[in-house]
Amino acid sequence: MREETISSRPRAGPALGWWLVNAFQAVAGLLWSALWISLALLVSAVTRGPRIALAMARHIWAPGMLRIGWMRVKVYGRERLDFGEPHFFAANHLSWIDIPSLFTALPVPLLFVGKRELARVPFLGWYMAATGMVFVDRGRGVGAARSVAGVAERLRAGWSVLSFPEGTRARDGRTQPFKSAGFQSAIESGVAVVPVAIEGADRVLPPDGFRPRPGVIRVILGEPIPTAGLARDARADLARRTELSVRELLAGVARAEPRAEG
């Protein structure tokens, strides 16, 4: 009986091993981010523009973060887009690792839309401000209107912008309803909306804590949805169409893995 009881207890070795690995990854990730964000801020100040700093994020910082976590990104659907044109990308949000995954998946200088609270985060907030990313107010009124105008301005200037219309990360992995406010900027600028489905990010980096695990993150780009000629009050319908497309892309991954591009 005693032998059976002892053998049925979970062994602490693997759990301790992962704790040590994750602690190392956390320190490495913080140092890596602090280094490259600092360099990007310096470059932005010298060049007086965000383009080189954004290229550093895509080609150096983001791939490094994925390697630290032993993660790979597979991309599908790039052939659907003309990357010489600006797009409003709308993605589901599963994990913090979505951001470096999208930086590497999309071959363009990419501006993110983030909540206003991020502006107060050291390094991250400074980087977002220096590269022209948009901080949004969740409420209504003047602040929200300025946020929409800021995104539309960047789209009209030729930048591609990515938003997480759910408003927060999904805790259970399920796609939440898309909020419509951000889609107003796509309509005002006449830029096509691209549904983006992210799959697997919550498995390799769960949203509740920092516990990276090796694995694959899939980023699937859907068919662009034109906005030219849409009325200003069409944003709710546009949000629903985009959300439905993201859900269909995720269902396609669940049925059978398509051919990857990277």
CATH number at residue 79: 3.40.1130.10
**Three-state DSSP class for 165?**
coil
pLDDT band at 14 (very low <50, low <70, confident <90, very high): low
Question: What are the distances in angstroms from CA 195 to CA 39, 44, 219, 243, 254?
Answer: 32, 30, 10, 7, 17
Q: Which amino acid is at 139?
A: G
In a domain, 33, yes or no: no
**pLDDT score of 201:** 95
In a domain, 177, yes or no: yes
Tokens read off for 11 = 């062994």
* pLDDT above 50 for 106: yes
Q: How far apart are the C-alpha atoms of 133 and 114, rounded to whole Å?
A: 8
Residue 28 burial (CB < 10 Å; 0-12/13-18/19+)? middle
**pLDDT score of 191:** 96
Question: What is the torsional sign of CA 76, 196, 35, 211?
Answer: negative
**pLDDT score of 8:** 37
In a domain, 55, yes or no: no
**pLDDT score of 123:** 85
Q: How many domains does the chain have?
A: 1
Out of 2-6, 38-42, 76-80, pick the least confident. Answer: 2-6
Mean pLDDT of all residues in 168-175: 75
**pLDDT score of 100:** 96
In a domain, 39, yes or no: no
Tokens read off for 37 = 């964000």
Question: What is the torsional sign of CA 122, 211, 221, 54?
Answer: positive
In a domain, 62, yes or no: no
What does 196-250 look like in DSSP terms, one character per residue? EEEESHHHHS-SSS-----EEEEEEE---B--TT--GGGHHHHHHHHHHHHHHHH
Q: Hey, how many other C-beta atoms are within 10 angstroms of the C-beta on 49?
A: 13
**pLDDT score of 6:** 35
In a domain, 50, yes or no: no
Q: Which domain holds residue 125?
A: 70-255
Q: Which range scores top for mean pLDDT: 10-14, 168-172, 195-199, 226-230?
A: 195-199
In a domain, 20, yes or no: no
In a domain, 133, yes or no: yes
Q: In what order do the strands lie in the sheet with 71-76?
A: 71-76, 215-221, 193-199, 88-91, 160-163, 110-115, 134-136
**Three-state DSSP class for 253?**
helix
Question: What are the distances in angstroms from CA 107 to CA 52, 83, 179, 186?
Answer: 14, 7, 26, 20
